[in-house]
C-alpha cells in the first residue's frame, strides 16, 4: 500500500536530485584550482583565444601550442573567435577570461583602463629585442604590458597572371594615385574588378594619410578627421568606387580582399602580411606579387597592425602563461609563424632572417619605415563602425564623403570627451 507522505518525499527527492545533477554537471572556469600566479608550471590547462585570419593561422598557433605543451608538460586549448572583441569582452565581463588572448593595439588602452591585463613585459628576457615602436604601442603608465606577437603593414597585391594578360609590365606598377587608377581601369573586365579591398577605415585611412591627413593631431589631443587632406583621400576612394574599378568584398560575394583575389574576383587588393598564409592554403594556384602602396599627393603612407599576447589579470596560470609567451616570441617560433601565415616577427634580431627567407615580402618590410599604427581610444570602435558602414555607399553615390568625414569628426570628438 502506498503511503502519501512517502510518495511526496520520493517526488521531492527526485526533484532535488535532478537539480543536484544539473549543478554537479557544471564545471567552473576552465583553469584548475591552482593558486593564482603561483610557481606551478606543469600539468596545467591553459586557454588561448585568438582572432584568426584563416586556417593557416589557426593551424600554426595550434602547432605552437602543442609544441610548447609537450615541452612544458601542459595542455593548451586554442579557440579562434568569431568576433574577438565581443567574445573577449563577454568572457572578461563574465569573470572567466581565457588565460591568453590577442590584444589588438587599438583595443589595448581600453583593456589597460579596465585592469584586465597583467603587465609582464618587463619580465621577458628578450624585451630589448622588440621593435621600440611596438613596445610603445603596448606600454602604459610606464609599464610594458604585453609582448608584441608580430606586426604587419598594408601593401598592394597584384595578380600577376591577370597583369600580364592585360598587357601590363613591371613599368606599369603604380607608384602614384593616377597610375593606380589607370591600372585598375585596365584590369576591370569580364567578371573581374581591378581593385578590391575591405570597406573599413583600416584601409581607407592609408589613402587619407597619403593625402597628408591624419585622424589625430600631432600630440594626439584633438581630432582632425574632417581636414581637407582626409577628405581628399576619401574622395579619391569614392572616385574609384563610382567608376566601378574599385569594389568592396561584399559586392563580390567574398569576405575579404584575400578571398576576392583568390577567387579571381579581383586583380589587385590591399591587405597586410596575413594574406600570405591565408592565400597559400586556400588558393594555392594564385600567382601574385606584393608591391608598396602607391604614393599619394603628399607621399607614401601605409598602416601597420600589431597584436600582443595578453595575459588576463584573472588568470590562475600566470607563471605558465608567461613561459608560453617566452616560447611564442622566440625568434624560431616567430619565423615559424612568418612561414605559416606571413606576418613579420616583432623582434629585430629576426629581421635579416625574414628578409632573406621571404624576398617577395620585401614591400611589407619596406612599409614598416613609414607606417602608422591604428587609433587607440576607448569608444572609438563604434565611431569606426559607423564610418565603415557608409563606405559601401560610395559606389552608388548614396554616401557623401564630406558628410562622412564630418560625422567621423563629430562622433570621434564625442567619444574622446566621454572617455576622458
Partner 1 sequence: MTAPEQELSDLRRATTRRRSDNSAGERTRSRPTRRRAGGIRGRERWAGLLFVGPGLAVLLIFLVVPIGLAFYVSLTRWDGLSSPFGNGAKFTGLQNYRSLLTEDSLTRQNLAVSVRNNFYFVLFVVPIQTMLALFLAVLLNNRFLKGKSYFRTAFYFPSVTSSIAITLVFLFLFQGGGAVNRLLDFVGIRGPNWLADSRGVFHQVLRIFGVDAAPDWAKHEFLNLSWWDWLSGPSIAMCVIIILVIWTTSGTFMLMFLAALQNIPEEVEEASEIDGATQWQRFRLVTLPMLRPALLLVLTLGLIGTWQVFDQIYLTGNNPATITPAYLSYNQSFQNSMFGVGAAISFLQFALIIVLSTIQRRLVGTGEDY
Partner 2 sequence: MSARAYSPPWRRTIGYVLLGVFALVYLGPFLIQIATSFKTDTDAANHSLSLVPHPVDLGAWKRIFGYTPNSGVPFGRWLFNSTLVATCITLGRVFLDSLAGYALARLRFPGRKAIFLLVLSVLAVPPVVLLIPRFLVLKELSLYNSYSGMILPICADATGIFLMRQFFVQIPVAVEEAARIDGAGIWRTYWDVVLPLARPGLITLTILSFQGSWNEFSYFLIATSDPKYNTLTTGLAKFSSGSLGSGTQYPVTLGAALLSTIPVAILFFVFQRQFVSGQLSASTKG
Burial 105-124 (b: 16+ CB within 10 A, else e): bbbbbbbbeeebbbbbbeeb
- Binding flag, residue 17, partner 1 (CB under 8 A): no
- Binding flag, residue 2, partner 2 (CB under 8 A): yes
List 179, 251, 355, 372, residue binding partner 1 (CB under 8 A): 251
Instruction: Pick between residue 30 and residue 217 the one whose CB is nearest to partner 2.
Output: 30
Instruction: Report residue 342: phi and psi, to 5°.
Output: 85, 10
User: Which residues touch 319 (CB under 8 Å, ≥6 apart)?
Assistant: 37, 38, 39, 40, 41
Give yes or no for a contact between 296 and 239, defined as CB atoms under 8 angstroms apart: no
Locate cell 583595443: which residue?
Answer: 107
Min dist. Cβ of residue 28 to partner 2 (A): 6
Residue in 92, 89, 67, 66 with CA at minimum distance from that of residue 77: 66
Min dist. Cβ of residue 284 to partner 2 (A): 13
- Binding flag, residue 161, partner 1 (CB under 8 A): no
419 interface partner picked from partner 1, partner 2, none, CB below 5 to 8 A per type: none
- Binding flag, residue 259, partner 2 (CB under 8 A): yes
Packing angle between helix 228-243 and helix 401-419, nearest 10 degrees?
130
**Binding track, positions 31-70, relative to partner 2; x by CB under 8 A:** ----------------x----xxxx-xxx--x--------
Give yes or no for a contact between 64 and 337, defined as CB atoms under 8 angstroms apart: yes
343 half-sphere exposure, CB direction, 13 A CA radius: 27
Instruction: Pick between residue 5 and residue 171 the one whose CB is nearest to partner 1.
Output: 5
62 interface partner picked from partner 2, partner 1, none, CB below 5 to 8 A per type: partner 2
User: Which residues touch 9 (CB under 8 Å, ≥6 apart)?
Assistant: none
Beta bridge partners of 157: 269, 290
Min dist. Cβ of residue 36 to partner 1 (A): 17
Q: What count of other Cβ atoms lies within 10 Å of the Cβ of residue 375? A: 20
- Binding flag, residue 5, partner 2 (CB under 8 A): yes
**Binding track, positions 106-145, relative to partner 1; x by CB under 8 A:** ----x---xxx-----------------------------
d(CA 328, CA 35): 24
Grid coordinates representing 296 are 599619394
Cα–Cα distance list, 182 to 178, 179, 351 (Å): 6, 5, 35
Min dist. Cβ of residue 155 to partner 2 (A): 19
SS3 state of residue 196: strand
d(CA 252, CA 188): 13
d(CA 156, CA 289): 8
- Binding flag, residue 11, partner 2 (CB under 8 A): yes
d(CA 361, CA 344): 9
- Binding flag, residue 411, partner 1 (CB under 8 A): yes
Instruction: Pick between residue 254 and residue 395 the one whose CB is nearest to partner 2.
Output: 254
- Binding flag, residue 367, partner 2 (CB under 8 A): no
Instruction: Pick between residue 47 and residue 361 the one whose CB is nearest to partner 2.
Output: 47
- Binding flag, residue 126, partner 2 (CB under 8 A): no
Length of the chain measured in residues: 420
Cα–Cα distance list, 337 to 37, 55, 166 (Å): 28, 13, 35
Site for partner 2 in 267-296 (CB under 8 A): 278, 281-282
Site for partner 2 in 64-123 (CB under 8 A): 77, 79-83, 87, 90-91, 93-96
List 47, 52, 198, 252, residue binding partner 1 (CB under 8 A): 252
Residues at the site binding partner 2, with contacts judged by CB under 8 A: 2, 4-5, 7-8, 11, 15, 18-19, 21-23, 25-30, 47, 52-55, 57-59, 62, 77, 79-83, 87, 90-91, 93-96, 253-256, 258-259, 263, 278, 281-282
Which residues form the interface with partner 1 (CB under 8 A)?
12, 15, 83, 85-86, 89-90, 92-93, 110, 114-116, 248, 250-253, 378-379, 381-383, 385-386, 389, 392-393, 396, 398, 411, 414-415
Amino acid at each position: 500500500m502506498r503511503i502519501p507522505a512517502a510518495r511526496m518525499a520520493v517526488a521531492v527527492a527526485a526533484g532535488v536530485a535532478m537539480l543536484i545533477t544539473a549543478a554537479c554537471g557544471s564545471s567552473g572556469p576552465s583553469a584548475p584550482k591552482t593558486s593564482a600566479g603561483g610557481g606551478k608550471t606543469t600539468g596545467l590547462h591553459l586557454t588561448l583565444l585568438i582572432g584568426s585570419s584563416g586556417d593557416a593561422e589557426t593551424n600554426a598557433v595550434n602547432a605552437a601550442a602543442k609544441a610548447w605543451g609537450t615541452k612544458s608538460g601542459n595542455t593548451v586549448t586554442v579557440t579562434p573567435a568569431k568576433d574577438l572583441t565581443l567574445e573577449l569582452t563577454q568572457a572578461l565581463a563574465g569573470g572567466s577570461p581565457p588565460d591568453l588572448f590577442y590584444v589588438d593595439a587599438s583595443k589595448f588602452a581600453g583593456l589597460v583602463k579596465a585592469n584586465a591585463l597583467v603587465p609582464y613585459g618587463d619580465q621577458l628576457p628578450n624585451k630589448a629585442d622588440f621593435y621600440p615602436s611596438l613596445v610603445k604601442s603596448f606600454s602604459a603608465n610606464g609599464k610594458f604590458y604585453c609582448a608584441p606577437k608580430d606586426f604587419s603593414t598594408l601593401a598592394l597585391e597584384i595578380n600577376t597572371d591577370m597583369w600580364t594578360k592585360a598587357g601590363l609590365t613591371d613599368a606599369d606598377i603604380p607608384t602614384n594615385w593616377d597610375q593606380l587608377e589607370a591600372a585598375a581601369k585596365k584590369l576591370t573586365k569580364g567578371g573581374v574588378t581591378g581593385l578590391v579591398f575591405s570597406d573599413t577605415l583600416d584601409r581607407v585611412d592609408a589613402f587619407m594619410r597619403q593625402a597628408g591627413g591624419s585622424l589625430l593631431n600631432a600630440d594626439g589631443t584633438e581630432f582632425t578627421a574632417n581636414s581637407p587632406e582626409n577628405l581628399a583621400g576619401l574622395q579619391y576612394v569614392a572616385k574609384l568606387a563610382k567608376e566601378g574599378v574599385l569594389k568592396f568584398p561584399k559586392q563580390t560575394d567574398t569576405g575579404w580582399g584575400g578571398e576576392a583575389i583568390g577567387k579571381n574576383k579581383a586583380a589587385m587588393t590591399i591587405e597586410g602580411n596575413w594574406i600570405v598564409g591565408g592565400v597559400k592554403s586556400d588558393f594555392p594556384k594564385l600567382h601574385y606579387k606584393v608591391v608598396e602602396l602607391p604614393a599619394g599627393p603628399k607621399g607614401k603612407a601605409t598602416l601597420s597592425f600589431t597584436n600582443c599576447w595578453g595575459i588576463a589579470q584573472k588568470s590562475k596560470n600566470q607563471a605558465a602563461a608567461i613561459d608560453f609567451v617566452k616560447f611564442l616570441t622566440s625568434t624560431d617560433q616567430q619565423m615559424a609563424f612568418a612561414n605559416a601565415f606571413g606576418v613579420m616577427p616583432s623582434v629585430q634580431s629576426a629581421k635579416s632572417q625574414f628578409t632573406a627567407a621571404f624576398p617577395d615580402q620585401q614591400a611589407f618590410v619596406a612599409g614598416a619605415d613609414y607606417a602608422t599604427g591604428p587609433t587607440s581610444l576607448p569608444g572609438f570602435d563604434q565611431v569606426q563602425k559607423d564610418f565603415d558602414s557608409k563606405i559601401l555607399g560610395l559606389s552608388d553615390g548614396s554616401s557623401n564623403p564630406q558628410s562622412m568625414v564630418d560625422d567621423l569628426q563629430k562622433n570621434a570628438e564625442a567619444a574622446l570627451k566621454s572617455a576622458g
